[in-house]
Structure 1
Amino acid sequence: MKIGFLLLALALLVSLVAAANMDKYNLRKGKEFLEKKALEEGVVALPSGLQYKVVTEGPAGGKSPSAADTVSVHYRGTLIDGTEFDSSYKRGQPAQFGVGQVIRGWTEALQLMSVGDKWELYIPSDLAYGPSGPGSIGPNQVLIFEVELLDIVGGSSAQPAVAGGKKARKSKKKQAKEEL
């Protein structure tokens, strides 16, 4: 009986040490990934730590959602090693959710996007799930999302995007920095 209890306690201790090591490993690897990514052409790094790259720019004058809006998006989520953990594309239909009801990295990015935009997001763990990653997402993992903003389907506070393509992006980035 005592041996069984000791073996169980030892197994628990080993699993706790392994989890702590994974936590530190993911933090280190995530930091390295984000540092490299920030140097790539076309990648924008925001003060919050969120990084993004515009893959496709929607039509000029497209609306941008606020945190109170509901949006329709297609997305694919991967870990930095390329492991896909979620995809609306695979389900065959876009997802709908409140902009303010998702991880902080998504909330920040969606408010900078315009309908029709497709961005690649690089989200640090503190803007994602932090030390308590759900399912196949481990503790403190950086997440990569390909996000296509299809429509604003609910809410009434959508803002018209500033006309001018790249000027509009710069204006939105400046506004985001001022709000932080």
Structure 2
Amino acid sequence: MTEANNSKPEIEFPEGPAPTDLQIEDVTVGEGAEAVPGATVQVHYLGVEYATGEEFDSSWNRGESIEFPLRGLIAGWQEGIPGMKIGGRRKLTIPPELAYGPAGAGHRLSGKTLIFVIDLLGVR
């Protein structure tokens, strides 16, 4: 992993209206194995709300990475992580339809556009 990926990322407050489709931006391109659809991934991540910049979740705050199958995650992660390589850091801006659904859908983040910065640590 590159030195830049050894610490919790900072997300600059976005300007302008939230995008209506998934935005994928590679911050650092990894050089390891590539994540494929349906893979199990080990990641560190930070999530913030687009509108407020408020952090709502972070594996960094828990002091350990997390591993899970992509197929069990929100659609924005299922579509946004494949193609990443181990050692990479990617920023995903995810509209509500690919996150937790429209406002009133029953999740505290329903109706919100979300930004995640994800460090890919492992793939199997």
Normalising to structure 2: TM-score of the pair?
0.78
In the alignment, which of 38, 41, 44 is matched to residue 74 of structure 1?
44
Q: Which has the higher contact order (CA 8 A, sep 6+)?
A: 2
Shift of 1:68: 2.7
In 1, Cα distance between equivalents of 2:117 and 2:107: 19
The answer to whether the 8 A contact 1:65-1:99 is kept is no
The answer to whether the 8 A contact 1:122-1:144 is kept is yes
The answer to whether the 8 A contact 1:52-1:119 is kept is yes
Tell me which residue corresponds to 1:33: 18
Structure showing greater Rg: 1
Distance 1:133 1:106, change over 3 A: farther
Alignment of 1:1-180 (within 5 A): 32-34=17-19, 49-59=21-31, 62-80=32-50, 81-131=52-102, 132=105, 134-135=107-108, 137=109, 139-152=110-123, 154=124
In 2, Cα distance between equivalents of 1:53 and 1:141: 19
Deviations 1:73-95 (A, max 9, x none): 00000001111110000000001
The answer to whether the 8 A contact 2:29-2:89 is kept is yes
RMSD of equivalent CA atoms = 1.7
Equivalent position SS for 1:63: coil
Shift of 1:56: 1.0
- 1:83 is aligned with what amino acid? E
Equivalent position SS for 1:140: coil
Tell me which residue corresponds to 1:6: none
Percent identical pairs in the alignment equals: 39
Normalising to structure 1: TM-score of the pair?
0.55
Shift of 1:57: 1.3
Q: Which runs of 5+ in 1 are unaligned?
A: 1-30, 36-48, 155-180
- 1:96 is aligned with what amino acid? E
Q: Which moved more, 1:49-58 or 1:101-110?
A: 49-58
Q: Which runs of 5+ in 2 are unaligned?
A: 1-15
Structure 1 stretches of at least 4 aligned residues deviating more than 4 Å after TM superposition = none
- 2:28 is aligned with what amino acid? T
Equivalent position SS for 2:80: helix
Deviations 1:101-155 (A, max 9, x none): 10001011111211111011100111111122523x2x31100001001101x3x
Structure with the higher fraction of residues in helix conformation:
1
